[in-house]
Amino acid sequence: MKGLFTVLVLLVTTAGASDFKLGKVVEIHDASSLAEAAVANHPVSAQGGGGITASIPSQYLRCELTVALEGINYTAIFREDQHFRITDFGPGDSIQARIEGKKLVVKRLDGKEMKSKITRQEPVESQGKSKSELSRQN
C-alpha cells in the first residue's frame, strides 16, 4: 500500500512538471520605478493634492520579464528577493515557463516556481521584422 502511494505521488509530481515549456527570455530590466510612477500619477492623488504629487519610491526591487513562449511574448513584473535576481537571466536565455490563467509562472534557478500577473501579451515578431513591415507585406 505504501509503495502504491509513493508511485501515485511520483506520477502527480511528474505530470505537474510537464506543464512547463521551454521559453526564451526576450527582455529583462529593472521595474522598481514603475510602482513609484503609478502612485505619483494616480488620478486620486492628483485630485487630493491639487495636481501636485510626491514621488514615492518602491519598497521592493522589481524586474519586468518578457518571455517568448509558443509564439507569444508574455510580460510580467516579478519581485526580486534572495532567490530571484534580475541578473539570474538575460536576453536570449532559456527559461522554463507556463501560463496559468492570467499569470506567467517561471522556474527560478533553484527549481522553485514564481508567479506574476501578465501585464502585456503580444505575438512574437517574425525574424526581427517590425509589425509595420509585416502589415505592409500582407
CATH number at residue 99: 2.40.50
Across-strand partners of 114?
106
Cell of 11: 506520477
In a domain, 131, yes or no: no
Domain hosting 115: range is: 20-31+60-125
Structure confidence at residue 54 (pLDDT): 55
Q: Where are the alpha helices (DSSP H) in the chain?
A: 2-17, 32-40, 43-48, 131-137
- Decide if pLDDT at 94 tops 70: yes
In a domain, 133, yes or no: no
Tell me the one-letter amino acid at 15: A
In a domain, 107, yes or no: yes
pLDDT tens column, 25-48 = 999 999 887 555 445 555 555 555
Which residue matches cell numbers 509564439?
71
What global pTM score does this model have?
0.64
Q: CB–CB of 134/122 below 8 Å?
A: no
In a domain, 70, yes or no: yes
Taking CA atoms, 128 is separated from 7, 24, 134, in Å, by 47, 15, 10
In a domain, 101, yes or no: yes
pLDDT tens column, 52-70 = 555 555 567 899 999 999 9
In a domain, 1, yes or no: no
Taking CA atoms, 15 is separated from 1, 8, 10, 11, in Å, by 21, 11, 9, 6
Phi/psi of residue 111, nearest 5 degrees: 90, -10
Strand positions, DSSP E, the chain: 21-30, 62-69, 72-79, 94-100, 103-107, 113-123
Across-strand partners of 22?
96
Please count the structural domains in the chain: 1
Say what percent of the chain tops pLDDT 90: 46
